[in-house]
Amino acid sequence: MKKPLLTLTILLIGFSISSNSFCQTEQGALDATEAYFTAKMCDDYETLLNLTLPDLIEQAGGRESMRATLSKIHNNQRSKGIILQDYKIKQEIKQAKTKLETHVLIPIVTVSKVPGGTVTSESHLIAVGLEGNSKWHIVETSSLNEYNIHKVIANWDNTIVLPYKKAPVFKEDK
């Protein structure tokens, strides 16, 4: 009688530790996502650079080149009257652990002010946890698919399937 109870107790403790680890990982990814959107809304390029995968910064020619690119993108959007107003993180989060990284797929909804109305978009971000999930980086998936994701996230193992893209919804101002 003691052995089954002991086994059940060990299993429950293991599940609790595993569940707690999952929650901590998820929270780290969510915190990085919050920081990412706050930085985007405030044109905080330093935070955006810190949340960008080091390989992407290197591919862009270094931090200063990437900073210039981020600034150019934001200025281009602003000149067209496109301003990120709000974002919401949805709850259907998925995560996978590779040998070196943790990948967390985070569904989001963004609302941007555009000339004549607003555009609501449903998409996903990938939070990439490095160094035992002590460092997080954010990757937008808008231009990624199963064929090119490895160019951006080298250790992506296809455990998580990238969802289909949804068309943005325009709502005209009244």
The amino acid occupying position 168 is: P
User: How big is the chain, counted in residues?
Assistant: 174
CATH code (residue 22): 3.10.450.100
Q: What is the pLDDT of residues 64-100, one digit of tens each?
A: 999 999 999 999 999 999 999 999 999 889 999 988 8
Return the bridge partners of 173, or none: none
The H or E element that residue 124 is part of is strand 117-130
Q: How far apart are CA 169 and CA 7, in angstroms?
A: 52
Q: What is the pLDDT of residues 30-53, one digit of tens each?
A: 999 999 999 999 999 999 999 999
| Number of domain units in the chain | 1
Which domain, by its residues, includes 9?
Answer: 2-172
Q: Residue 168 carries which DSSP code?
A: -
Higher per-residue pLDDT: 12 or 74:
74
